Structures are given as C-alpha cells and as structure tokens.
A = this chain, B = another copy of it.
Amino acid sequence: VTVDIVIFTIVDAELRVLLVRRGEHPDKGKWALPGGFVRVGTSRKAQGEGLDEAAERELIEETGLHSKIYLEQLHAFGKPGRDPRMRVISVAYYALVRPMLVPLVRAGGDVDRVRWFSVADAGRLDLAFDHADILAVALSRARDRIDTSTIAFELVADTFTIPELRAAHEAVKGHPLDPGNFRKRFFRMVEDGLLEPAPGKRITASKPARVYRFIRRQP
C-alpha cells in the first residue's frame, strides 16, 4: 500500500502541481506524483502509521515544509497491473500549499528532479503509472470543494484582500469570475461569521484594498 499526493499551489495566478521525475524503473524518467509506501508494522503492538500520517510524512519529505498543510484523502486506486512490478494499492491524497511557502520548498533548486507544473501542462504529460487519472480526480475534487468548503483559504496568506481570494478561486476553477458577484459572496461569508476584517490595507498596483482574515473553527 502506498500513498500518492497531488500537491497543489498557485504560482503566477495559475494552479500548479508538484511532480517528481522518477529515477528508477519502471517508468524511469517520467514525471510522477510524490508518494511512497505506508509503513506497516508486523507485530500486533506496532502496526505502523495511519494513512493520513503516511501522507503527511511523505508531504514533508518531498517538500521540506513543516507548516500545517491542508491534506485530504481523495480515493483509493487499486487496479491490478498499475505497477508492473507487484500489486500496489495507492491511497491518493491532495494537498494545498500556500503560495508564500513555495520558495521554501527544499528541492526547488533541483529543477531536474522536482518541479511545479501548471495543471494544464501536467495534464498533457505522459505521467508514470495511473497518475494522470489520480491528477484528474484531484482536480475535479478541488473544483467541487472550492465552492462548498473553506479550502480556498488554504491557498492565500493569513490575511488577504477580496481580489486575492478571488484569484485563488479563479486559479482552481480555471476561468475568471465577476468581481462584483464575488464580492457579494465574500460579504455573505463575513455576515456568516466566517471572515472578519483585519487591520491594515494592501498596497497594490492600483487602489489599495482592505484585508480580511479567515476565522478558523476548532476542529
């Protein structure tokens, strides 16, 4: 059993995904999702790590990031033959990394081995194993969730302006949104107690914008 992680972020107003180049057969040289085996104990007492734990460990190993990163299970992929060496069942996760953390991603310099691809480019690549399927599921899941959950706040800084949050929505959805209409939705969230104004303003290329803060609920 392995975990594979679709790690999303936003760079240059584009949704991107972290891929690693495989250094070993099979599919040597192809780009693949980061992932690895779940540690399972053999004894009754020590049964190893949980799935979520394994995903978090892999995420840290591949990115070097120690901040809290949003992580959610996607789907289990278990078609026989998906790995030619042996039977592998992969539990896929997706993660959302705040853009400001991207420069801290350790292997960023080693562009030959690890790279952020725009989802459009990644979709055109011939990915290893069935990772193209996993990416497609991750993308449609993220697009579903962006309107019905609070995942958009995982893609912006702690404080943000209305246009910044809109940009996150646009990157995930893949098309522009009407600023006026988004504004109304935004204020509904404020009225619902999901957001609150934060001190300070954001100096932008044009008119300065007010900043807000997401009110995190206790889980």
Contact = CB atoms under 8 A, between A and B. Distances in A.
| Interface of A (DSSP majority class) | loop
A29 interface: no
Contact of A79 (B1, B40, B50): B50
A76 B79 contact: no
Contact of A87 (B40, B73, B75, B76): B40
A134 B47 CA distance: 20
Interface in A90-106: 91
A91 B78 contact: yes
A41 B89 CA distance: 12
Contacts of A78: 1, 38, 50-51, 91
Nearest to A79: B50
Contact of A89 (B1, B42, B80, B87): B1
Interface in A44-79: 44, 47-51, 73, 75-79
For this chain, the copies found in one complex come to 2
A85 interface: yes
A23 interface: no
A163 interface: no
Contacts of A197: none
Nearest to A88: B47
A84 interface: yes
A179 interface: no
Contacts of A80: 41, 47-50
A108 interface: no
Contacts of A48: 80, 87
A76 B51 contact: yes
A81 interface: yes
B51 A87 contact: no
7 closest A-B pairs (Cβ-Cβ)? A47-B80, A51-B78, A47-B87, A76-B76, A40-B87, A76-B91, A50-B79
